[in-house]
Amino acid sequence: MNEPQPASRHQTLAALGGVLSALAGLAVGSVVAGILGSRQTPVVAVGSAFIDRVPAWLKDLAISLFGVHDKTALRVGILIVLLALAAVAGILAVRRWWAGAALTAALAGVGIVAAATRPDSGQIDFVPSLAGGVASLLLLRLFANRLSTSTGTSGAVTRRGFLQLAAGVGIGTVAVGAGGQLVGGRRSAVKDARLALNLPKPPTLEPPAGVQAKGATPWATANADFYRIDTALSVPLIKPSDWRLRIHGMVDKELNLTYEDLLKRDIVHKWVTLTCVSNEVGGDLIGNALWSGVLLKDLLAEAVPSPDADAIQSRSQDGFTAGTPLSTLTDDRESLLAFAMNGEPLPLEHGFPVRIVVPGLYGYVSATKWLVDIEVTRFDLFDAYWTPRGWSEQGPIKLASRIDVPRSKAEAGPVTVAGVAWDQHVGVSKVEVRVDGGPWQQATLAADGSIDTWRQWHWTWDAPRGNHVLQVRAFDAKGNAQIEAEAPPAPDGSTGLHSVDVRVS
Ligand SMILES: Nc1nc2c(c(=O)[nH]1)N[C@H]1C(S)=C(S)[C@@H](COP(=O)(O)O)O[C@H]1N2
Ligand SMILES: [Mo]
């Protein structure tokens, strides 16, 4: 046997290829995490999972060895283990591609599983590790190809080609990693600014007297449970000190406001139930919160809209727009420029630092988050974001009701059937329930919060064994019944009665 290359020369390069692929994967993972607003970069995910699982003695040992630097030590430790295994993957990949690929995939898999199983993990937290894994695999393949196409070429040529690729990947990794740092750093600066705020507190966070119905959905939706709908792939990051709102267009006097200006004004705290037009019958794209902010009515009164204007076009920092009837901002309904939600500064995902809240309108035509601009205008002069995309220009919320318990099973005997009904800024006057298409029975309504919030209801069912269908319908404040005909969310909100199949045993 006369080997053209000493295997060990290639071995070092192969290991280097594995290490560079892994580092590039980590950089991609942290950039993707930054863009998605996820905290779960591959190293953070694995590190946090590790922290939750280490025995107490090891934790104590780490703290006594490294003190306050125990977390840094953990990161470095994870990195050393990862890079050592990545070097092995690089060597394997040149000899048997599948073995190197399998090891790389397994390493990414650890990150994916760790990220997806964090107690606070959301649906997208596995994506950074997945993206990092895919990037690593692709690069590993490139490196392995460079080394194995060497048959017939001289060792020096192979080596030069490989090193050029390695240098390119190294530079790319540093650039991508720096980008990740920038996004991540900006995010934590805005988070810190949010935490440092000391906003006027609402007098109470308690529900209005008597509105808490038994069972089912709580009156107030916690910020962490509040549905989130928007077009923002990465959450816009705006520091309160940088925030400006311009109110302009068809007005006598243009206004320019800072965050401080807002806080100096009269502040209103108001329960409003927000609803998404995309909510299916029985769906959960709805939440009730105590919003704090200033009245848009007051601001608009200062700007003095022209009598010809009939709309505002509100714009977020990332370019989303909503078109809202001027009348819904100037009438008695207390539409808000909101900066707080349930007594806390708006969460980043819910529009920090300032958003609009209009009782009675679906979010897509009113509730602009990360608000930076309000143009007073006319509907016939513009198209808001969703209008050319198949959604109605106007979006008043439709009367609807939902059964929250039971959702599938119950025990025979008295069963509490409960849920919510809503018709913001009109009000709900009555809710009825029926079983298996039988006669409608009147449910008990919790005391009214206001016509701008959902209304909790409950009804006691003497449930017999077997399979049954529960249905609910609501009536508005004027006595009109909910629309029974089924319609999909597009173009202006779903209709139809919510039905639940219940197995009673
Ligand atoms: N900037 C911005 N604001 C937005 C949206 C958006 O895509 N971008 N979506 C709207 C829609 S469709 C709804 S239903 C509400 C949802 O608000 P939430 O995510 O705080 O629940 O925000 C509205 N405000
Ligand atoms: Mo929405």
Distances (CA, A) of 188 to 38, 179, 183, 195, 339: 12, 14, 9, 10, 19
- Ligand 1 within 6 A of 276 CB? yes
Q: Rounded to whole angstroms, how far apart are CA atoms 82 and 103?
A: 11
- Ligand 1 within 6 A of 391 CB? no
- Beta bridge partner(s), residue 315: 321, 373
CATH topology of domain 400-504: Immunoglobulin-like (2.60.40)
Q: Rounded to whole angstroms, how far apart are CA atoms 389 and 268?
A: 34
Q: Tell me: the pLDDT tens digits for 260-312?
A: 999 999 999 999 999 999 999 999 999 999 999 999 999 999 999 999 999 99
Asked, as a colleague might, if the bond just before 406 is cis with ω within 30 of 0, I would say: yes
Average pLDDT, the chain: 91
- Ligand 1 within 6 A of 228 CB? yes
Task: Report the half-sphere exposure of 255 (CA within 13 A, side-chain side).
Answer: 21
- Of 175-184, 315-324, 397-406, least confident by mean pLDDT is 175-184
Following DSSP, what letter does each residue of 357-423 receive, concatenated? E-TTB-GGGT--SSEEEEEEE-GGG---TTGGGT--S--BPPPEEEEEE-SSEE-SEEEEEEEEEE-
Report residue 316 CA to chain centroid gap: 16
User: Which residues does 202 contact at the CB level (< 8 Å), separation at least 6?
Assistant: 269, 290, 292, 340, 343
- Ligand 1 within 6 A of 364 CB? yes
Q: Is the C-alpha dihedral spanning 488, 490, 494, 500 positive or negative?
A: positive
| 75 band by pLDDT with thresholds 50, 70 and 90 | confident
More confident residue, 278 or 160: 278
Mean pLDDT of 2-29: 81
pLDDT higher than threshold 50 for residue 3: no
Q: Tell me: the pLDDT tens digits for 91-129?
A: 999 999 999 999 999 999 999 999 988 776 778 889 999
pLDDT at 9: 64
More confident residue, 334 or 122: 334
Ligand 2 centroid–CA 279 distance in Å is: 8
Q: Which of 169, 25, 28, 45 minimizes the C-alpha distance to 86?
A: 25
Q: Helices 42-53 and 7-36 sit at what angle, rounded to 10 degrees?
A: 90
380: exposed, middle or buried (Cβ count in 10 Å: 0-12, 13-18, 19+): exposed
Max Cα distance, the chain (Å) = 95
| 349 band by pLDDT with thresholds 50, 70 and 90 | very high
Mean pLDDT of 405-411: 95
pLDDT higher than threshold 90 for residue 88: yes
Ligand 2 centroid–CA 491 distance in Å is: 12
What is the edge-to-edge ordering of all strands in the sheet holding 244-249? Answer: 255-258, 244-249, 371-377, 311-316, 321-325
Nearest CA to ligand 1 atom 15: 363
pLDDT higher than threshold 80 for residue 67: no
Ligand 1 centroid–CA 174 distance in Å is: 35
Q: What is the CATH number of domain 223-389?
A: 3.90.420.10
Q: Do 101 and 92 meet the contact criterion of CB atoms below 8 Å apart?
A: no
- Of 46-50, 113-117, 365-369, least confident by mean pLDDT is 46-50
- Ligand 1 within 6 A of 315 CB? no
- Ligand 1 within 6 A of 316 CB? yes
* Continuous segment of H or E residues that includes residue 429: strand 428-435
Task: Report the half-sphere exposure of 39 (CA within 13 A, side-chain side).
Answer: 11
pLDDT higher than threshold 70 for residue 154: no
Q: Where in the chain is the domain with CATH 3.90.420.10?
A: 223-389
pLDDT higher than threshold 50 for residue 4: no
Nearest CA to ligand 1 atom 18: 228
Ligand 1 centroid–CA 192 distance in Å is: 23
Q: Rounded to whole angstroms, how far apart are CA atoms 352 and 316?
A: 11
Q: Rounded to whole angstroms, how far apart are CA atoms 249 and 252?
A: 9
The conformational region for residue 73 under phi > 0 = left, psi -120 to 50 = alpha, else beta, is: alpha
Q: Tell me: the pLDDT tens digits for 177-215?
A: 888 888 777 888 899 899 999 999 999 988 888 888 777
- pTM across the whole model: 0.76
